[in-house]
Amino acid sequence: MSSNFFRQEVDSAVDALLLQQVILYPTDTVWGLGCDAEVPPAVDRLLALKKRPADKGGIVLVADEVMFAKYAAVVPPNLTALLAAQERPTTYIVAGSRHLAPNLLAPDGTIGLRVVQQDEFTQKVVRRLGHGLVSTSANISGEPTAAVYSEVNPVIVRTVDYVVSWRQDDQTRAVPSRVVRVLPDGQLEVVRE
């Protein structure tokens, strides 16, 4: 695939996100549904498409530690070391900040934040958007997670505002991210390995 096609796909995804639309896209793990993490109506639309209860909280992809700090009420003091040591994409559950759409937060005020380090497409989209990107698996709530595009429910494909074409033919089977809760003392509690 050409670098021109790659750039066009990044541009098209960002354009849709700037219009407060919901996209279907390849994340740094599995296929996901996404929208701008600062826009409550877009989050409402995404949750409705997924048929997901609003009280479950969300995951937001960020470009770097600066963006992580924007969305975390308290940044783990050892975040740089944690990111350097992680062997696969890891989502950190932290207290969310006022910059996030309130309907993304779990009832306890937390949010899952993941710094995209290994996936060039998602990283470029987040950087160009300039905001966090909601990342939830591209499935109807309760259905299996779509590791590859061909596993995405056709209902999802038909109802999102934009479907990213990049990596639709990729059959690499990724797994969801590792999820850890950051405790007040900075220690980590594994939620999902």
**What pairing do the DSSP bridges indicate for beta strands 31-34 and 136-137?**
antiparallel
Residue 82 amino acid letter:
L
Question: Residue 74: what pLDDT?
Answer: 86
* pTM of the complete model: 0.95
116 lies in some domain: yes
Separation between Cα atoms, residue 129 and residue 18, nearest integer Å? 7
186 lies in some domain: no
pLDDT in tens, 128-165: 999 999 999 999 999 999 999 999 999 999 999 999 99
> What's the token pair of residue 53?
């209860």
Question: Residue 184: what pLDDT?
Answer: 79
The tokens 């969300």 sit on which residue?
58
Q: Are 165 and 155 in contact (CB under 8 A)?
A: no
CATH number at residue 114: 3.90.870.10
Number of separate domains in the chain:
1
